[in-house]
Amino acid sequence: MSTPALLRPATLGPYSLKNSIVLPPLTRSRSTQPGNIANALMATYYRQRTSAGFMVTEGTQIEPRGQGYAWTPGIHSPEQVAGWRQVTDAVHAEGGIIFAQLWHVGRVSHTSLQPNGDAPVAPSAIAASGVSVFIETGPGTGTLCPPSIPRALSREEIAELVQLYAKAARNALDAGFDGVEIHCANGYLINQFISAHSNQRDDEYGGSLSNRLRFLREVTEAVAAVVGKDRLGVRFSPLFESTDEARVYLGLVEEDPRDTYLQAISLLEGIGIAYLSLAEADWDDAPALPDDFRQQVRDTFSGALIYAGKYTAERGNRVLDAGLADLIAFGRPFIANPDLPRRLAQGLPLNPLDSASMYGGTEVGYIDYPAHCD
């Protein structure tokens, strides 16, 4: 009897993975305050999930202006680097492999989250619509509110941001991470540069698609120079249908998403990064990525391909067996099931997810989900 594809060993850059199951970036808002510092609670959470072949942290902001939600961790201060070291030590003690996701929300933020109450930064001074950010209203309490109107970045600030990504990558290595993933999805800063909806600049960073991809290229090259291209991934969230849910989930649907993303992927292929992670829409009745687009991605990109979305074991095995992906990421199921690979391997029932405890809080709904008992 052959081994299901999800349980087969895989390769990602220089790493040999014990299976093809990924813990993807999942915002949980449990960092220590003040300072947005990773902590022992987070180390326990990631250690519990080291049966994944590969792990990527929740988004971790590269600078104070990169924060869009209360209590998310950063990777720009010495205290934050030391906090993340607790996490990487815990994961490595269990034989796990973990990358840090480098995150900047750009315009998807609020003045109360910004240094000195300033406006968020973005390619252009265009507010994000149809989305909410989460701000703190008191110790351990917060509320959703619309993002603030951003201000446009200057050319000089864009160059500084490229270096801030590189510095965050150096911090990630100092914290013991095995590599990094650049967050270019879900309507955040790099996605804002790529999209004609949010980028209306008239300089070398705006206008044509090649110009709108310039920031992606500069950031990716700068980070690759720090960590090595074989220890670098990029995450996209290509959407092919405009819906209310797409706006709620921060998606930017381009007029020609196929051409936009295939050109972006071709750019990354030229740089030679280790993997590309594609986050599919995962709400009920969400539009699926076209099968021919998946094949075009495979034909364009020679590195490892990770897909994340509303995957079951059966669907994940099917996509892997078809050769369209190398790894499959499971989000919400991994939150509620720290031993998810075993459950998928043995067909065991899954713990239900407590949605109320997903963001913020204590160990409840975070590290207290039980492993399956024989």
Q: Which residues are catalytic?
A: 188
Alpha-carbon dihedral sign for residues 62, 64, 68, 72: positive
CB 277 within 8 A of CB 99: no
What Å distances lie between residue 55 and 75, 132, 190, 228, CA to CA? 17, 27, 22, 18
CB atoms closer than 10 angstroms to residue 118: 14
Phi, psi of 332 (to 5 degrees): -55, -40
CB 326 within 8 A of CB 306: yes
**CB contact burial 183-204 (16+ within 10 A = b; e otherwise):** bbbbbbbbbbbbbbbbbebeee
For residues 19 and 15, what is the distance between their CA atoms, to the nearest angstrom? 12
Residue 97, C-beta contacts closer than 8 angstroms, at least 6 positions apart = 12, 15, 17, 53, 54, 55, 91, 178
